[in-house]
A and B are shown apart, each in its own frame.
Chain A
Amino acid sequence: MTKEEFAMVADRLVIRNFDKKQLLVKAGEVEEYLNFTVKGLTRMYFYKNKTEVITNIAKEGEIISSSSSFLSSSPSNYYVETLEPSTFLSISRQQLEQAYKESPSIERLGRLMTTHFVLQKEEWELECMRLDTKERFLRFVGNNPELLLRVPQKYLASYLNMKPETFSRLKHLLRKRTPVFR
């Protein structure tokens, strides 16, 4: 991508700030934005009966959006809500469509980003099938150790599709073997 092309995208971005526990989009609404997380933490969830089921947690450097709704312009199945005060670099669907028209290399960027969404979903889905509860837990905390401190446990448990009690129990696996003296 050239500098000019980068500028074409950058000009279309908006900075959006949210307090914690603010909704970016509700189920039933159409997602208008793709949000790149500059700062903060966001979760995506839906209600199964009256229970929240978390399907995504995004931190700095990650994209969060009700992507399927964004791509299809149909109502979102999910809620997207901040867990911490957050800052996003966002682009609206309309602006993104305009940018695609301007250059094939922006279109290429869009293709690669969408491919990334697909692969991320595929990987998550296959991992949920392939790994047992303990393996899922260890893999997740291994990859995201800081989230253990930032995200309420009940949310992490929901995301990993396990009971909160199971999650608490598995935390013992993380304790160091050697005793810590204070």
Chain B
Amino acid sequence: MTRHEFHQLEPYFEIREFEKKVKVINAGEVERYLNVIAWGLVRKYLPVRNREITVQLASEGHIIHSELSFHYRVPSRAVVETIEPSVFLSISYDSLEQLYERFPKVERLGRLMISDLFIKKDNRYFDQLRKTTRERFLEYVKTHPQMLQRVPQKFIASYLNIKPETFSRLKHLMRPKRGVKD
């Protein structure tokens, strides 16, 4: 894609700003947007019998929205809520459709982004089913060290499907083996 083509896409996007702990979309609402996080930290969760099951933790550069609601135009079951103050680059359902109509080249970009999303989703699903709690923990903290600083533990524990107590206990695994001199 050329720079010129890229600029042609700009009018289709909106910049949206949110304070922390704001529900960007609530259960029961229809998702209008696909959001790319320019700045901030956001989680997606499913309210289930007085509990919140975290299904996604997303930071800068990631896409987050209520996918099923967005594509099928039905009320969302999931909630998307900011953890930190956040800025989104958002495109509405209608704008995205127009974009695909007007710029056939975007089809390829869209397809590749969605393929990538599917591969990530499948890997996560596979890990949840096959790996042990300990393996899931170690792998996540290794690949997302910065998230551990930014995201409340209970959300990460829920995302990894680990009890908060177990999560606390597993944190010992992260300590260096040898004593560190101050």
Which A residues contact B (CB, under 8 angstroms)?
Answer: 46, 48, 53, 55, 67-68, 71-72, 77, 100, 104-105, 107-108, 110-111, 114-115, 117-119, 121-123, 125-126, 129-130
Complex: A53 Cα to B115 Cα, angstroms: 24
B19 at the interface (CB under 8 A from A): no
Contact B115 A48 (CB under 8 A): no
By secondary structure, the B interface counts as helix
Contact B130 A67 (CB under 8 A): no
Which A-chain residue is minimally distant from B114 (CB atoms)?
A114
Contact A122 B67 (CB under 8 A): yes
Closest beta carbon of chain B to A48's beta carbon, Å? 5
Complex: A68 Cα to B48 Cα, angstroms: 29
B101-109, B147-155, B164-172: which one contacts chain A? Answer: B101-109
The B55-114 residues at the A interface (CB cut-off 8 A) are: 55, 67-68, 71-72, 77-78, 100, 104-105, 107-108, 110-111, 114
Closest A-B pairs by Cβ, 10 of them: A104-B104, A68-B122, A111-B111, A107-B107, A114-B114, A71-B115, A72-B119, A111-B110, A108-B107, A118-B118
Given contacts A53-B129, A108-B107, A130-B46, 14 further A-B contacts (CB under 8 A): A55-B129, A68-B118, A71-B119, A72-B115, A100-B108, A107-B111, A115-B71, A119-B67, A119-B71, A121-B121, A121-B125, A125-B55, A126-B46, A130-B77
Contact B129 A121 (CB under 8 A): no
Contact B119 A68 (CB under 8 A): yes
Which B residues contact A (CB, under 8 angstroms)?
Answer: 46, 48, 53, 55, 67-68, 71-72, 77-78, 100, 104-105, 107-108, 110-111, 114-115, 117-119, 121-123, 125-126, 129-130
Contact of A129 among B46, B105, B117, B130 (CB under 8 A): B46
Complex: A122 Cα to B67 Cα, angstroms: 8
Complex: A36 Cα to B104 Cα, angstroms: 26
Which B-chain residue is minimally distant from A106 (CB atoms)?
B107
B72 / chain A contacts, CB cutoff of 8 Å = 119
Known A-B contacts A126-B78, A130-B48, A130-B77; the reply to A67 vs B111 at CB < 8 A is no
Contact B130 A108 (CB under 8 A): no
Complex: A104 Cα to B100 Cα, angstroms: 10
Which B-chain residue is minimally distant from A116 (CB atoms)?
B71
Closest beta carbon of chain A to B12's beta carbon, Å? 17
Contact A68 B123 (CB under 8 A): yes
Complex: A139 Cα to B135 Cα, angstroms: 32
Contact of B126 among A77, A105, A107 (CB under 8 A): A77
